[in-house]
Amino acid sequence: MLFLVVCEGREYVCHFDEVPRHESILDGREILNESLKERVLQDFDGLAGVKYCGAEWRPAYGELPRIELCPLRQLAFTGV
């Protein structure tokens, strides 16, 4: 399933074999989009927190579920 993924202000379109759950931890090695994978591995030490943010329309893809990835160190402050 395709998702619009927001990671520190940048948007990526990424396919996930399994739907990422809200408030879960995503292993960067499992990300199929290479540029997003590289960002999570380098900037987030390989692990990111997942937050659902609704859906957004993209002309090339139609309506996509939108998730936000954040570093685990931020999760303690966001209540995730």
What band does 74 get if pLDDT is binned at 50, 70 and 90?
Answer: confident
Within the chain, residue ranges assigned H as helices are: 34-43, 72-78
- Measured between alpha carbons, how far is 29 from 9 in angstroms, rounded to an integer? 21
- Measured between alpha carbons, how far is 20 from 79 in angstroms, rounded to an integer? 18
pTM: 0.85
- Measured between alpha carbons, how far is 3 from 49 in angstroms, rounded to an integer? 15
What would the pLDDT profile of 6-17 be if each residue is shown by its tens digit? Answer: 999 999 999 999
